[in-house]
Amino acid sequence: MKPVVSLPSPAPLLSRTGWAAFLVALIVVCAVAPVLNLLVPAGSLFHLSDYGVGLVGRIMCYAICALAMDLIWGFTGILSLGHGLFFALGGYAMGMYLMRQIGLDGNYKSELPDFMVFLDWKELPWHWTFSDSFVATLFLIIAVPGIVAFVFGYFAFRSRIKGVYFSIITQAMTFAAMLLFFRNETGFGGNNGFTDFKRILDIPVATPSMRMTLFVLTGITLLGFFLMARWLINSKFGRVLQAVRDAETRVMFSGYNPLGYKLTIWTISAMMCGVAGALYVPQVGIINPSEMSPANSIEIAIWAAVGGRATLIGPILGAFIVSGAKSWLTVAYPEFWLYFLGALFIGVTLFLPDGVVGLVKRLATTAAAKSGDKA
Amino acid sequence: ADTIKVGVLHSLSGTMAISETVLKDTVLMAIDEINAKGGVLGKKLEPVVVDPASNWPLFAEKTKQLLGQDKVAVIFGCWTSVSRKSVLPVVEEMNGLLFYPVQYEGEELSKNVFYTGAAPNQQAIPAVDYLMSKDGGAAKRWVLLGTDYVYPRTTNKILRAYLKSKGVADKDIDEKYTPFGHSDYQTIVADIKKFSAGGKTAVVSTINGDSNVPFYKELGNAGLKAKDVPVVAFSVGEEELRGVDTKPLVGHLAAWNYFMSIKNPTNTEFIKKWSDYAKAKNLPGSDKPLTNDPMEATYIGINMWKQAVEKAKSTDTDKVIAAMAGQTFKAPSGIVSKMDEKNHHLHKSVFIGEVKADGQFNVVWKTPGPVKAKPWSPFIEGNAGKPDEPAKK
Amino acid sequence: MLNVTNINQYYGGSHILRDVNLQAELGKITVVLGRNGVGKTTLLKSLMGLIPIKTGAIEFNNKPIQNATPFERARAGIGFVPQGREIFARLTVEENLRMGLAYKPASTPIPPELFELFPVLKQMLQRRGGDLSGGQQQQLAIARALAAGPKLLMLDEPTEGIQPSIIKDIGRVIRMLADRGDMAIVLVEQYYDFAQELADHYVVMERGAVRAQGLGRNMEADGVRQMVAI
Amino acid sequence: MFKKILLSTLLLIAGSAYSITAEEVKSITIGETDSRVEALAKAMLAADDKTAAFLQALSDDAVKVAGDKILVIQGDKVVDAVTQAEVPLPDDAEDVINNNRMRGEIDSALAALKLFSKDDKVRAAAVKQLQSDADETKLPLIEKALATELNTSIKDQLNLVRAAALLGSADKSKRLEAAQLLATSGQANTKTMLLARLENETDAEVKAALGAALRQVESALAWGDKLGALFSGISLGSILLLVALGLAITYGLMGVINMAHGELMMIGAYATYVVQGLFHTYLPGAFDWYLLAAVPVAFMASALMGALLERSVIRFLYGRPLETLLATWGISLMLMQLVRSVFGAQNVGVENPSWMSGGVQVLGNLSLPYNRLIIIGFAIFVLGSVAWLIGRTRLGLFVRGVTQNRPIASCMGVNTARIDTYAFALGSGIAGLAGCALSQVGNVGPDLGQGYIVDAFMVVVLGGVGQLAGTVYAALGLGILNKFLEGWAGAVLAKIAVLVFIIIFIQKRPQGIFAMKGRSAEA
Amino acid sequence: MTPELMEQNARHAEAYRAAHPSISGNTESGGREAGFSRLAVPGEVDVTHGRILYLEDVSVSFDGFKAINKLSLDIAPGELRCIIGPNGAGKTTMMDIITGKTRPDEGRVFFGSTIDLLRYKESEIAQMGIGRKFQKPTVFEQLSVFENLELALKTNKAVGASMVFKLDSAQSDRLAEVLHTIHLSECVSRQAGFLSHGQKQWLEIGMLLMQDPKLLLLDEPVAGMTDEETERTAELFLSLKGKHSLMVVEHDMSFINTISDIVTVLCDGSVLAQGTLAQVQSDERVIEVYLGR
Ligand SMILES: Nc1ncnc2c1ncn2[C@@H]1O[C@H](COP(=O)(O)OP(=O)(O)OP(=O)(O)O)[C@@H](O)[C@H]1O
Ligand SMILES: Nc1ncnc2c1ncn2[C@@H]1O[C@H](COP(=O)(O)OP(=O)(O)OP(=O)(O)O)[C@@H](O)[C@H]1O
Ligand SMILES: NC(N)=O
Ligand SMILES: [Mg+2]
Ligand SMILES: [Mg+2]
């Protein structure tokens, strides 16, 4: 007997419109923005200012974090209040390299970074060993957040720490790290962190073309991560994650070991943040421990929530909306912007339970229903 | 354009808003005043206020925006050193101009920055000298207590070297740090008490921000009296004491280049201007208007900048920088304040004040005249022979 | 006592209850039958006010209640035993019963008859509701609904997960409560024999609508067993 | 306290003419510190009540200089220090500035004079004052006082002072005697004196005696240290408890991840500030009791704000705990900015009432500040009230029931909306109480809440969500652990260690100290 | 464990059984020790001594309350064992112990003669071939019916494998078949959270079928089902019997009557009686504590 049941066919990585939109985004990032910034003259209406490039570049880094947060929170139901740490670790890994690239151009004309000279250190501490190699740095950017996340996650998930308990210890983790990095003895420049970068790969950072390169790189990374996340979520792996979110016991009794799944996505998510941090640092020119403050991590969660959890595109939008609004409002209404931002958060939760993307979807279905009625 | 844009880059929200908000208002007051007198070069000044929200990367971004989009002629801003460090590469790259009004740790000299706050030798060292003097209590042992970040760390490093040069042994120096926002000073105060049992002790406090109130409250309640263990602070002024019951703190000290209680006509006028402004704008706290050192430094800064622009007949950064050298201004602190010809720092008198019951300070000591800043402290190794002027680009 | 006319209910876009009519009288047991997913639970929840109905009218004690909140309906005298027990997992058994007395004066004691009915509850008075076994929880849920002495008792599959001897007890209790004449009972049940034994009236639902109704003693003759089977 | 009595006695004598000369008055008041000190010493040789009154005025900052006139402020009157004639206050009158050294000298001079006061308390205070600066020059004075002193406890203290003064004596036997006497003193400054003496001592025998005395004093001090550390741990714990209790309700019971909890505390603290201001203006006489009025006001202010938030925002979010995080974060931003707009970005000053300043001396080096003691008591009171409300009242039962299963609770006849509002308002009100307490130890500013929110969540979660007892253990445990670690690792490392401890502890107990076990936990 | 290995083992075991017809489910094993000398083969349940599940002297207590008290019980391969007993007898708790959810205070639990279940985690136990349906239906509420079943499907459940997993045609046939069996063909794309109670029950059974376990533990599978569906469930279970071992907990006596071979009566955490339904139904003690008069 062969029953006739129509099974849903597996979803494609992106729909046709999806691919089209993706291509447009890619072109904007790789071609339009550079042209508008570098080739269109500064006076022109179409000129994209350096400030604009910097802003969008920075927000794209945030968007990567939001995407990473969505994987772990939106899809797996694990709220991390410590993702700022991974972001900062990636940033610090990059920052160390940038500090080494300063070479003898520092205040003290020493091989050592200025703050070490200042602390009377005679040689680089052990954890700076590989910081002069770009390749090693690329590795560290992924490995350090990855390893920290893996070890932390392994113990936490093994002990079946869940829900808020997990959220709170991630917060404790990033808070503790922040205090640790604040200490000058830790060897990361204390409160000032790293600034005044000069070069990457011996190319000066403060040039328009370098800025554009970083911008394009960030854009491509964001798009790449988006595709990766999309692929992960569409795979059975992604469905197991969502199953973990809904009923972890059921997952176990179905023969899956949630530890492996949670740990994998947790580590991937952390590494994504690390990459974002590494791209962020040369663009904003500073990394310091305040990136690890609990509020920063909460903000990552907020981007995801504003855009719409468990939608992938939502968190990216959320990062743009929230950071963009913040950037604009702090100039337009320096004394009142917190009211607007606060109201935005409240409004989104009250009226857009599924975030901005939820709203768009809702509008789309109503529109479709309407046109359907007419037809 | 018929206006000159002036950037104001002080945090109005986040942890630093507590200190920085008044500086924004000080700039706005000075701008009003200058505009009332016809502006600069016949043009009105137009403030562009932004809120970097105590977020360091945001400081850099906002600077980019001020210089790149708004094309401001000058920026008045920053409080913490880390915010200044974040802004620094941007102003250098875009050849902007920043006036930084807060006492800081030195170890920096930028062509594009004018430092109107104190360098360590204009605040910390004289304070320690005073405490070692007979009038100051002839302290033999030292607790160097600070918030764990670069300004206290650096200051304490300089002080340690200085104290050593004065023959103080390492065992008589106790260096302690607390995290930002630390709010429970029971252990610290108990430790100070214990330490002070070993000989006449003075405490040098570089505690910054919110921690000061709990620290002083604990000090008051634990009964540590100023005449037994005097505490001299470098980041506690009139504004910080607003939040504290000062009666138990009478006699504790602060070292600054300005106190509100200083009596001279310039200061009286300055205070009056500020009170009037605060009342007119209905600023919070205008029932008890206070002035303090960074406000004075801000005020000096903007006025000197105005003079320099007039001298240069241009707001062009390089011309203004050149014109700044040697500028003088009659400062509310009572001296004629001079911008050093070379090193971008003000010459400043140092005052030591003792806390009074009403939250003001009694000036108990001051330097005979203005002191030239040494941004490169000679007490830090490797600073000998550093040029006393910013490197030419 | 209870008079339901033409109520309609939706979940999102799907129409779940279609013009359902239902009556319940004092001293009588009305049994609602129907296959899985026909909307029995939805019906009871609508009557309780947990999900607002789209159209139609609900009268209780000759007063319209379709706009009342659940707690107003409870205070009016409607007791509810939800499907899936829904006891307060982290309250003790005693506290669960006290919740059942929520709208009575604070000093009202827990009626001792409840413990005669369900002796296990007396033994486990201080245990957390969530720690009880499934059947024990079901007993607790019934006891909780009875505690305040409702005028209308609605039970959603109360025998689910209960051991046969207690099912018998529950049947006896329901009968006894009905026979006292001061309570109307609406019983949603899948367990046909049990339903038939108790029914004064029956209602069979299908796809959200009432397919048939009649007197309990005619159930077999009306072919209700077949209706729920297909 | 004693200051007041002193003042009233002094005011009695102040009417009479000063016997100190105009010259003396002048040279004590004006000039370089060195010369003033010298003048003071000279005046002390023939000191009397009038000298004392003038010194007291100096010490109270009630002396002003106008030209070459020295004026004393006496309440509303201004009198010439020399002629005692009442004069108008000239515009150019300037405060006399006493630096710490001068103040110290004046105070010890005053103490010496007060040694003969009739009031036991005044004498006791004078003796205490002398302890810190006893030297051989004061010996005659001390002996004189000893001869007339009848009160035994003051006499004991005086003997210690005498010993301290003798420590520097040239006479070896006197030094020996002093060393033996001082061994029984548990004062920290005795240690200072002994150490100082030990450094200069040449005589072996005296050295040994000094050493023994030092050891004894040190061991007494060590006890004080230990108890002090424990006390500060408990005290920190009590603060953490206060901060966490409200959250234990809004978050622990209701499941609202209330990021605005800190701002509700801030509202309580500002309410306290406002009440203080009102007392200042309208009830200056009862100023000391403003705090008692502030407690209910702080509670109500935060509770009303909480009720408002619940009605307008939170109630739409039940069952979506993570959304509450976002909304309450927004609320917290707005509340902070609101306070900045209304009260300014700067801190505002909240004073301890006089009955809360100072402390009780338990051991020589251990004094327990009243404000801390009162806060500990207050925390216990709030804890008791909350435990009673939640565990023993119907409101508590309903709150727990409603938060566990809202629809079913409403089917039981509970007006869930009202219970939710009450519960949230209660939790918020308790936050307000915490804010009121915090205003007595910390700063009151827009950021007040931010500094505690992380700690508050840690405490609630470490204790086990929904477990009041757990919250108590967690608060005390963290407080004591923190203070214990701070003792030897410093504040920064201690804080890091505590955070790491929390992370590790949760591994062992994934549901907090008081984990709910069994099935009910999953339900 | 790779899917190939699992299948291979299953085939191996089947072949073994075919070759040794004497080893039937009814062999009296003489205890687990009978197979003691054999080596544990990973992934293979050693049932040569005739028992697939074996509990010995298991006890567990919660805060002093003994929920399971020296319980001993075993089940033969291919057997369909019914468990009945009063509410609170410990039936669910027993399943919790077998599936690794609850650790017993004492006693031994073996799967086959070589696998000590107490040493494994829930997911490992599930992978070895023990499937469970909960008393309260638990499905993945936010996933569709289809995805629920797909996740349950017996395949390699490691992280890497699931990233590259693709449903092959045999598997989708199987899925369609199960969908049909559980009457949810029309709801394939429906979100599971929106199903009615009874539909969730079915879905959970369906997930169990997808898992294709050697031993099925079913906690009140027909609760909330109509009589007709109960019958269908009975048929389903009877068809599974032989290929799979089943342990069914129910209170529905007519259902038990339809499916039962041997019925075990649990009371107060241990076995009160065991035998055919007729036997236990006439047992006075069972009537007293469970069936009622
Ligand atoms: N929250 C919901 N959202 C959407 N659809 C729902 C929801 N709850 C139930 N349904 C659908 O409504 C229909 C009626 O469900 P209901 O629970 O009332 O059935 P029932 O008759 O009680 O079934 P059972 O006997 O299985 O308990 C079902 O088809 C179910 O899938
Ligand atoms: N975590 C726990 N804490 C306290 N008691 C518990 C706990 N878990 C189970 N119990 C008790 O253990 C006993 C056995 O429970 P169990 O759920 O196994 O019964 P059951 O046989 O499945 O009953 P039912 O037929 O009603 O489902 C019950 O009395 C129950 O109250
Ligand atoms: N420069 C300072 N005070 O941070
Ligand atoms: Mg139902
Ligand atoms: Mg059970």
Q: What is the ipTM of this complex?
A: 0.87
pLDDT-derived band at C161, boundaries 50, 70, 90? confident
Taking contacts as CB-CB distances below 8 angstroms, the residues of chain A near B62 are: 330-331
- From ligand 4's centre to the CA of C156, what distance in Å? 7
Determine the structural domain holding residue E286 and report its residue range: 3-136+214-291
With beta carbons less than 8 A apart as the criterion, state whether A71 and A236 touch: no
- State the SS3 of A267-306: HHHHHHHHHHHHHHHHHHCEECHHHHCHHHHHHHHHHHHH
- The angle that helices D100-114 and D120-132 make with each other, rounded to 10 degrees, is 140
Are both D120 and D256 inside the same structural domain?
Answer: no
CATH number of the domain at E242, please.
3.40.50.300
Closest CA to C152 of C20, C41, C47: C47
The pLDDT assigned to A48 comes to 83
Closest CA to A215 of A44, A47, A34: A34
Q: Pull the structure tokens for residue D7.
A: 């003042």
**Which residue CA neighbors atom 14 of ligand 1 most closely?**
C39
Residue-wise pLDDT for E65-82, tens only, equals 899 999 999 999 999 999
Specify if A99 maps to a domain.
yes
What mean pLDDT is reported for chain C? 91
The pLDDT assigned to E10 comes to 47
User: Which of ligand 3's atoms lies nearest the C-alpha of B235?
Assistant: 3
Taking contacts as CB-CB distances below 8 angstroms, the residues of chain B near D224 are: none
Closest CA to C39 of D508, E194, E216: E194
CA closest to C42 among chain E residues: E196
The pLDDT assigned to A353 comes to 81
Specify if A227 maps to a domain.
yes
Closest CA to B256 of B237, B229, B231: B237
What mean pLDDT is reported for chain E? 83
Last residue in a domain, options D415, D445, D475:
D445
- From ligand 5's centre to the CA of E94, what distance in Å? 9
**Would you call A173 and D322 a contact, using CB atoms and an 8 Å cutoff?**
no
Closest CA to D351 of D284, D400, D404: D284
Quote the CA–CA distance of D119 and D117 in Å, as a whole number: 5
- Give the total number of structural domains in chain E: 1
Specify if A132 maps to a domain.
yes
The pLDDT assigned to E22 comes to 42
Specify if E59 maps to a domain.
yes
Determine the structural domain holding residue A176 and report its residue range: 22-352
Taking contacts as CB-CB distances below 8 angstroms, the residues of chain B near D336 are: 13
Specify if A26 maps to a domain.
yes
Residue E31 has pLDDT above 70, yes or no: no
- Give the total number of structural domains in chain A: 1
- From ligand 2's centre to the CA of E87, what distance in Å? 8
Q: What percent of chain A has pLDDT over 90?
A: 54
Residue D470 has pLDDT above 80, yes or no: yes
Direct distance between the N- and C-terminal alpha carbons of chain C, in angstroms, rounded to an integer: 32
The pLDDT assigned to A9 comes to 74
Residue-wise pLDDT for D261-296, tens only, equals 999 999 999 999 999 999 999 999 899 999 999 999
Last residue in a domain, options D445, D469, D497:
D445
Determine the residue type at D474.
A
CA geometry: angle B144, B246, D271, nearest 5 deg: 115
Q: Pull the structure tokens for residue B168.
A: 């103080």
Determine the structural domain holding residue D366 and report its residue range: 241-445
Quote the CA–CA distance of A284 and A278 in Å, as a whole number: 11
Residue E92 has pLDDT above 70, yes or no: yes
Ranges in chain B, pLDDT < 50: none
With beta carbons less than 8 A apart as the criterion, state whether C46 and C38 touch: no
Instruction: Kindly report each contact of residues E21-27 with a partner whose C-beta sits within 8 Å and lies 24 or more positions away, as own/partner.
Output: E23/E47, E23/E48, E23/E50, E24/E50, E24/E76, E25/E50, E25/E76, E25/E77, E25/E78, E25/E79, E25/E245, E26/E50, E26/E76, E27/E76
Taking contacts as CB-CB distances below 8 angstroms, the residues of chain D near B21 are: 340, 344-346
Residue B220 or A201, more confident: A201
Are both D295 and D426 inside the same structural domain?
Answer: yes
Q: Is E95 on the interface with A (CB under 8 A)?
A: no
3-state secondary structure of A172: helix
Specify if E237 maps to a domain.
yes
Give the dihedral sign, CA B54/A70/A180/D262.
positive
Residue-wise pLDDT for A304-349, tens only, equals 989 988 899 999 999 999 999 999 998 899 889 999 999 999 998 8
Q: Is D277 on the interface with B (CB under 8 A)?
A: no
The pLDDT assigned to D8 comes to 39
Least confident of D158-167, D313-322, D462-471: D158-167
The pLDDT assigned to C148 comes to 92
- State the SS3 of B317-331: HHHHHHHHCCCEEEC
Taking contacts as CB-CB distances below 8 angstroms, the residues of chain C near D402 are: none
Determine the residue type at A231.
W
- From ligand 1's centre to the CA of E196, what distance in Å? 4
Specify if A357 maps to a domain.
no
The pLDDT assigned to C230 comes to 61
The subunits that touch chain C, with at least 3 C-beta pairs less than 8 Å apart, are: D, E
The pLDDT assigned to E35 comes to 41
Q: Pull the structure tokens for residue C219.
A: 């159930």
What mean pLDDT is reported for chain B? 91
Quote the CA–CA distance of A213 and A216 in Å, as a whole number: 5
The pLDDT assigned to A4 comes to 58
Q: Is D315 on the interface with C (CB under 8 A)?
A: no
What distances in angstroms separate CA C123 from CA C93, C94, C175, E65, one per listed residue?
Answer: 10, 11, 25, 12
Direct distance between the N- and C-terminal alpha carbons of chain D, in angstroms, rounded to an integer: 59
The residue behind tokens 């009056």 is B272
The pLDDT assigned to D158 comes to 82
pLDDT-derived band at A105, boundaries 50, 70, 90? confident
Specify if E185 maps to a domain.
no
Residue A325 or A43, more confident: A325
CATH number of the domain at C62, please.
3.40.50.300
Residue A375 has pLDDT above 70, yes or no: no
Determine the residue type at D66.
A
**Would you call A257 and E167 a contact, using CB atoms and an 8 Å cutoff?**
no
The pLDDT assigned to E5 comes to 46
Residue E38 has pLDDT above 50, yes or no: no
The subunits that touch chain B, with at least 3 C-beta pairs less than 8 Å apart, are: A, D
Strand (E) or helix (H) holding D10: helix D2-14
Q: Pull the structure tokens for residue E234.
A: 């009975």
Quote the CA–CA distance of C26 and C152 in Å, as a whole number: 8
Report CA Rg, chain A.
22
Q: Is E126 on the interface with A (CB under 8 A)?
A: yes
Closest CA to B32 of B50, B12, B11, B47: B47
Least confident of B39-53, B215-229, D448-462, E245-259: B215-229
Residue D7 has pLDDT above 60, yes or no: no
- Give the total number of structural domains in chain D: 2
Specify if E270 maps to a domain.
yes
Residue A11 has pLDDT above 80, yes or no: no
Residue A374 has pLDDT above 60, yes or no: no
Mean pLDDT of A283-306: 92
The pLDDT assigned to B393 comes to 55
Residue-wise pLDDT for D98-155, tens only, equals 888 888 888 888 887 777 777 888 888 788 777 766 767 777 778 888 888 788 888 8
Give the Cβ contact number of residue B92 at 10 Å.
18
User: Which of ligand 1's atoms lies nearest the C-alpha of E199?
Assistant: 26
Phi-psi region of A11 (alpha: psi -120 to 50; beta: other; left: phi over 0): beta
- From ligand 3's centre to the CA of B118, what distance in Å? 10
**Closest-CA distance of chain A to residue D512, Å:** 8
Closest CA to A172 of B184, D482, D502: D502
CA closest to B214 among chain D residues: D442
The closest ligand to the CA of B150 turns out to be 3
The pLDDT assigned to B1 comes to 64
The pLDDT assigned to D14 comes to 42
Quote the CA–CA distance of D341 and B95 in Å, as a whole number: 35
Residue D206 has pLDDT above 50, yes or no: yes
Specify if E178 maps to a domain.
no
**Would you call C80 and D411 a contact, using CB atoms and an 8 Å cutoff?**
yes
